[in-house]
Amino acid sequence: MSKRTGANATSPIVAKAVDLVKTYGDTDSQVTALNHVSVDFRRGELTAIMGPSGSGKSTLMHCMAGLDVPSSGQVFVEDLEVSSMNQKQLTQLRRKEIGFIFQSFNLVPTLTAEENILLPLQIAHRPVDREWFRKVVGVVGLENRLDHRPSQLSGGQQQRVACARALMERPSVIFADEPTGNLDSRSSREVLEFLRTSVRDYGQSIVMVTHDPRAASFADRVLVLADGSITQDMDHPTYDDILAVFAEHDDPDNGPVSVESADAKEA
């Protein structure tokens, strides 16, 4: 399987936010979801974004993927300014440069696993590279499940179908919104191993929002958001490193951020 080569693959930066601000509501009840965030996402890395509910992590990812529009600031993917694009341009960009993996899988229930994986290519009227398809299917370990519909697959298998679908178009960057949020610990590990393999062996760039410190420990880099700002930027943190950061962010009213639920999933 060849290394990923994006539109500007010579640059070490695949995507970036510049002074990003996102507010909701009117002046009297305005909420700031992102507070002048600037961050680069490096090519060929798995980056995890963590933080308590309302910290801005999903808003940041949605703005990066062109699914939400910032109030001010700029978003770039492969040096293309996403934040200034109209809907038609965004659609074209997402078909070529951006992949997305949803927590809820977003598979078409009447289609087989193979048909779901190939659906974006068919919608875009692009030819299917069968050799690439076989390699992607091999990576996710679904060779014997391609003729099964989503209802016949486990949650982990469904999410791996969604991962394969995102990878089939060879996007510059894949954004994953809580990709293991609906999975048990075994299925979570299957999906995370696949994501890490895609990065390590095939040069894919992935940005993943997660509440789970164990999921984040699979990442090359972990960003922690609080109140719309980046408070931590860690390279190759261990699980214990991440737990230590969230121990410092304990909320006296609500207890440790995310750690309790993560441990419960492992139990």
Q: Answer yes or no: are the C-beta atoms of 47 and 220 closer than 8 Å.
A: yes
DSSP string, 147-196: T--GGGS-HHHHHHHHHHHHHHT--SEEEEESTTTTS-HHHHHHHHHHHH
Tens digit of pLDDT at every position of the chain (267 positions): 444 445 555 689 999 999 999 999 887 788 999 999 999 999 999 999 999 888 999 999 999 998 899 999 999 999 999 988 988 898 888 878 999 888 788 899 999 999 999 998 888 888 999 998 998 888 778 899 999 999 999 888 898 899 889 888 889 999 998 888 878 888 888 888 888 988 988 889 999 999 899 999 999 999 999 999 999 999 999 999 999 988 776 544 444 444 434 343 333
Q: Answer yes or no: are the C-beta atoms of 64 and 75 closer than 8 Å.
A: yes
Per DSSP bridges, beta strands 72-77 and 13-24 are: antiparallel
- Beta carbons within 10 angstroms of residue 10's beta carbon: 7
CATH of domain 42-66+82-266: 3.40.50.300
Give the pLDDT confidence score for residue 9 in this predicted structure: 59
Contacts of 183 (CB under 8 A, 6+ apart): 155, 156, 159, 191
The model's pTM is: 0.84
